[in-house]
Structure formats: C-alpha cells, structure tokens
Amino acid sequence: QATVNKIAAGEVVERPASLVKELVENSIDAGADSVRIEIIASKNEITSIRITDDGCGMVPEDALLAFTPHATSKITEIRDLDTIRTLGFRGEALASIAAVARVTLITRPRDDELAAGTRIVIAGGEILENSAIGAPGGTTVLVEDLFYNTPARKKFQKSRATELAHIIGMLEGIILAHPTIAFRLTYNGTEQVVTGRNATRLDTIARIYGAATARDLVPVSTTAPLVAIAGHISRPSLSRKDRDRIILSINGRYVSSPAITNAIKEGYGTLLPKDRFPVAFLSLDIDTALVDVNVHPTKKLVRISREPEIAGAVRDAIKKTLAGHDL
C-alpha cells in the first residue's frame, strides 16, 4: 500500500504547484470564503506549504478518513462523475501527499460550535499523532519535508523562482474561476497575490494583471444551446505573442483546452496578426454530462463531448462580441 501511494503521489504531485492546486481545490470544495496560502522556501527550494481555509471543516472521524486512499466524501457512485460539480472526486490527493511528506492537519467543523477540533500528523503514510485540539472552524493543512523519502525528490523542484512562478500562474487560473473567494498567497511572508471577497471577475483581473489590462477588455456574455459563455476578452490591440493569457474555466474548473483556445483565436479572425494571441478570461458552463473530468490525475485536461459544436459557439460568441464594439 505504501508503494502504491508513493506512485500515486508522483501523478498527483508533479511539483509544488500541483500540490498547492490539490489543497486549494479542497478548500474551494469545502465552501471556503477565504483561502490563505503560505509558501516557505530556503535558499534553494520550497520547504513548506500551508493552506488555511474557513470552509466546512471536518469532524474527527472524517479527518482521519481524509488520508485513506480513495476515500472521498464527494461521490458515492461512479455514475456521479456525470454530474460532478466539485473539483475533487478521486480521493487521492491527501493520501498521496501524506505518503511522501510530513502533513499536519488541523480542522474543526465550521457550523458546529460544540464539535471538537482535530490535529493529525502523518509522515510517510504513518500516523504520528491524532488528538483533540482547540481550533477555529475550517481546515489548515501544513506540508513539510516534501519527498523526503523518495528518489523523486530531486526531480520534483526546479529553482524556487520557477516553482513560485508555476504556483502563481496556477493560482491565478483558479482565482479567476472563483472570483468571489478571497485568496492570499505569501512567499516567505511577502504578499504575492491578494484578492478580495465577493469581487467581480473584472475587479479580480485588474487586481492581478493591472488596471491597464482590465481597461482594454470587453465583456462577453452569451448563451448557446450547449454552452453559456461569460468573461472578458481583449481589444485586438492588446494581443500577445503567447497564449498564456487565455485563461479558461469550465464549470468552475481551471482547465487548459487547445480546442477552445483555438476557437477564441479564430473568433478574432483577421483582427489579429497571424502569430498573435488575444488576452481572454472566459468561464464556460457546459452540461456536466458532456465534460469528462476523469482524464488525468491532475484534472487540468478535460474531454469535452461535442467539442466541435462547443468550440464553434465560442468562436461565434467572440466574433459577435467584437463586432458589437467600436475597436
């Protein structure tokens, strides 16, 4: 079992950013209003990651269960995957992380004043501590000594600057999919990304990418038969050499989709030079039965049924939006 978990860890926890992603997604699934991410790095590498949320929290039994491989509170049957709305469903992340690191979990149910808090410490899959403790409602997960017990350790981190850039990029994608949640990322105590609660998507874009970028955007809002599209796209003048600033979410999940990215570019047609990409922040709402999220352990890629029609709808929405604006 220990070996199996270590292998699973390699898939779920490719690098520090994927670990942060799993933990932040758990906080979002727990209904958090605010999520704090604290990264501590030594001279050479990231040494600890702490995520604190004010989500639903866990009762003592569930806290222990959370580390059991394939234990998830989010689906009970395979066919639930067709209607999945939560970001997690594999029940793999916490077990995998605890197999290759030292994890301290502190949690207490948010909506039950009388419920006890729990502190669990696990290292290399072994429970070192499980005790009652006073704690605020919500959950804190502290991860230390990453990959201390596997040869994967060296592969796991490039320079700490590279890893921080990945964490920030990933977090920005998640934040834009959930602009109403307050996020705060610090790196060795210094604030890197901070967003407010109940912000609009445009506020959040301005906060992250600057007011100048936000000013050059036009809103998109369309409902087509298979997809509802909402968000903001840039005037052609804001075009870029890379596609990194096309940020997509599908049903609240930050994803990358080459087909949709292409459709956005097609929507601009000749308004953009051939080798340029627009800036776009789009949220797509698609019937969950048409989106297969169980394609890859990291869940960044999804398989979309009727993708050509959905991509076509996105292209048309972009075209129509641009035609309606004096550019």
Report the interface residues with ligand ADP, using CB under 6 A.
22, 26-27, 30, 53, 55-58, 66, 72-74, 88-95, 139
Amino acid at 145: D
φ/ψ (deg, to 5) at 31 = 75, 30
Closest CA to 87 of 99, 101, 75: 75
CB under 5 to 8 A by kind: which of ligand ADP, Mg ion, none does 63 bind?
none
Range 250-309, binding Mg ion (CB under 5 A)? none
Which position among 88, 137, 179, 297 is part of the footprint of Mg ion (CB under 5 A)? 88
The candidate with the shortest Cα–Cα distance to 256, out of 227, 280, 274, 221, is: 280
- Residue 93 interacts with Mg ion (CB under 5 A)? yes
Task: Specify the residue, 84 or 220, whose C-beta has the smaller distance to ligand ADP.
Answer: 84
Minimum CB distance to Mg ion, residue 177 (Å): 15
Residue 313: name its binding partner from Mg ion, ligand ADP, none (Cβ under 5 to 8 Å by kind): none
- Alpha carbon of residue 126 to chain centroid: 28
d(CA 47, CA 52): 17
Q: Which token pair is 4?
A: 């199996």
Q: Which of 249, 253, 270 is nearest to 261 (CA)?
A: 249
Residue 122, contacted partner among ligand ADP, Mg ion, none, CB below 5-8 A by kind: none
Q: Tell me the closest approach of the beta carbon of residue 184 to ligand ADP, in angstroms.
A: 16
Among ligand ADP, Mg ion, none, what does residue 90 contact (CB within 5–8 Å per kind)? ligand ADP
- Which two tokens mark 250? 């599908």
CA distance 12 to 15: 9
Residue at 116: amino acid letter: A
| CB-nearer residue toward Mg ion: 16 or 88 | 88
Nearer to ligand ADP, 86 or 261 (CB): 86
Cα–Cα dist 180/200, whole Å: 7
Considering only 56-64, 91-99, 142-150, 242-250, which stretch makes contact with Mg ion by CB under 5 A? 91-99
Which lies closer to ligand ADP via its Cβ, residue 16 or residue 57? 57
The runs of H, that is alpha helices, within 75-221 are 93-100, 153-156, 160-177, 201-209, 211-215
The DSSP bridge partners found for residue 191 are: 186
Minimum distance of Mg ion from residue 262's CB (angstroms): 30
**Beta carbon of residue 49, minimum distance to ligand ADP (angstroms, whole number):** 13
Q: Residue 143 CB, nearest distance to Mg ion (Å)?
A: 14
Q: How far is the CB of 67 from ligand ADP (least distance, A)?
A: 8
Region binding Mg ion by CB under 5 A among candidate stretches 25-33, 46-54, 123-131, 252-260: 25-33
Q: Of 30 and 318, which CB lies nearer to Mg ion in the complex structure?
A: 30
Residue 325 neighbours by CB under 8 Å, 6+ apart: 218, 235
In this chain, which residue has its C-beta nearest to ligand ADP?
Answer: 88
How far is CA 60 from each of CA 48, 108, 127, 131, 236, rounded to the nearest angstrom?
A: 24, 8, 14, 9, 54
Query: Judged by CB under 5 A, which of 5, 26, 96, 104 binds Mg ion?
Result: 26
Q: Looking at beta carbons only, is 265 or 299 nearer to ligand ADP?
A: 299
Can you say whether the dihedral through the CA atoms of 204, 186, 155, 8 is positive or negative? Answer: negative
Applying CB under 5 A, the span of 56-64, 83-91, 242-250, 267-275 interacting with Mg ion comes to 83-91
Sole residue written with tokens 């040869």 = 151
Residues in the site for Mg ion, rule: CB under 5 A? 26, 88, 93
